[in-house]
Amino acid sequence: MTDGVFGRESGHEQVVFCQDPHSGLKAIIAVYSTALGPALGGTRFYPYASEHEALDDVLALSKGMAYKNALAGLDLGGGKAVIIGDPVTGKSEALLRAYGRFVQSLGGRYITACDVGTYVADMDVVARESRFVTGRSRDLGGAGDSSVLTAFGVFQGMLASAEHVWGTTDLRGRRVGVSGVGKVGHILTGHLVEAGAEVVVADVSERAVERTVAACPGVQVVADEAALVRSDVDIFAPCALGGVLDDDTVAALRARVVCGAANNQLAHPGVEKLLDERGILFAPDYLVNSGGVIQVSDELHGFDFERAKRRVTSLFDTTKRVFALAESEGVPPVTAADRLAERRMAEVPRLRSILTT
């Protein structure tokens, strides 16, 4: 570990580097906070260019999970894990089980689930070595693919955003650009088409685009994310990897609303102010994409899909609450969302100091 990694005062409670030479596992588990409960967050399997890049990602993602879980009203803290490698060529039962043993060694401080590069079947394998796994298959009593309610939650946030900007939740005739039509973006596109929106998509994967066009024949396709940003769309929905909203992107955006599933969409602090100055409403990513974590957290209590979906539906009201607070305090929505999450993380643990008889 280099000297500079923690010189930034990340605020994390625990960061664990995991290595199993036999299976080829190289992973990092980051626990940002357990103030509200065990840290829940998915496992990302990705071919990072370096360990330092992987560490940067897991630190940012785990902090985002703490805020996400707090704002979603869950009694869970925030954590995340990354496995360094190509999920297509490097994934194996031995590697996943080795990873599961590391998760188990944390004794429940961290509960894992699916993320980019990992799937329900992978969590079933990890669960053979650890009790602290969610997002397992329905056959094993799990919540299944969390993409389903992640997309539904983003859709709820988009409806709230539309009502805030245009005074109605009706998306008919609205043009929505979806960047990334993988697990979540594909399902979100289906919701949008069903709602009568005109949808334009872009993805680096031709297969993902072909699958989405086959499912939703009226969808239009542009060359890449940059072209989508410059397109004449009302709503821009980033649903791929994070960091898409930087100074140049914000300057080029023609959308009135940004609302998508990708984590950590703001490339650096201050971008939220640029969006605000341009009159672009930003629905905080960790708020609107929390449907997935709500879904898998329900698994901890014996999974009930309809119960989880009802809870995800409430993201519409939470999003409206964030927009109202932002307006009343004169701050960007992401600042308002941060304040609500931080308030809950600070106030709820204090209740535990009250003795009961």
List the CATH number of the domain containing 331.
3.40.50.720
> Token pair for residue 178?
């979806």
Residues with Cβ within 8 Å of 89's Cβ and at least 6 positions away in sequence, in order, are: none
The answer to whether 32 and 12 are in contact (CB under 8 A) is: yes
Q: Is residue 350 domain-resident?
A: no
- Say whether both 198 and 330 belong to one domain: yes
Which of 26, 68, 80, 183 does the annotation list as catalytic? 80
Q: What is the CA radius of gyration of the chain?
A: 20
In a shared domain, residues 154 and 137: no
Collapsing DSSP to helix, strand or coil, 50 comes out as coil
Is 230 found in the same domain as 155?
yes
Q: Which domain holds residue 279?
A: 147-290+318-342
**pTM (2 decimals)?**
0.86
Residues 177 and 266 in one domain: yes
Same domain, 84 and 154: no
Instruction: Please name the residues in contact with 58: beta carbons below 8 A apart, sequence gap of 6 or more.
Output: 15, 28, 29, 30, 44, 80, 81, 82
Total domains, the chain: 2
Give the pLDDT score at 116: 85
Residues 252 and 195 in one domain: yes
Which of 142, 163, 189 lies at the terminal end of a domain, its last residue? 142
Amino acid (1-letter code) at residue 171 = L
**Residue 302 forms part of a structural domain:** no
Is residue 347 assigned to a domain? no
Q: Indicate if 158 and 276 belong to the same structural domain.
A: yes
Is 299 part of a structural domain of the chain?
no
Q: What is the CATH classification number for the domain harbouring 38?
A: 3.40.50.10860
In-domain check, residue 259: yes
Please tell me whether residues 121 and 196 are part of one structural domain.
no
Of 89, 122, 142, at which residue does a domain stop? 142
User: pLDDT value at position 351?
Assistant: 63
- Could you tell me which residues come within 8 angstroms of residue 172 by beta carbon, excluding any fewer than 6 positions away? 195, 196, 197
Residues 288, 319: contact at Cβ < 8 Å?
Answer: yes
Whether residue 3 lies inside any domain: the answer is: no
Q: For residue 183, what pLDDT is reported?
A: 86
Q: Is residue 274 part of a domain?
A: yes
Residues 235 and 283 in one domain: yes
Contact 188, 261 (CB under 8 A): yes
In the residue annotation, 320 being an active-site residue is answered as no
Which of 142, 170, 187 marks a domain boundary? 142
201 lies in some domain:
yes
Same domain, 158 and 34: no
pLDDT in tens, the chain (357 residues): 333 444 456 899 999 999 999 999 999 999 999 999 999 999 999 999 999 999 999 998 899 899 999 999 999 999 999 999 999 999 999 999 999 999 999 999 999 999 889 999 999 999 999 999 999 999 998 998 888 999 999 999 999 999 999 999 999 999 999 999 998 999 999 999 999 999 999 999 999 999 999 999 999 999 889 999 999 999 999 999 888 999 999 999 999 999 999 988 999 999 999 999 999 999 999 999 999 999 999 999 899 999 999 999 999 999 999 999 999 999 999 999 999 999 999 988 766 666 554
Amino acid at 180: G
Distance of CA 114 to the CA centre of its chain: 11
Residues 171 and 258 reside in one and the same domain: yes
Q: Looking at the structure, do residues 20 and 153 belong to the same domain, yes or no?
A: no
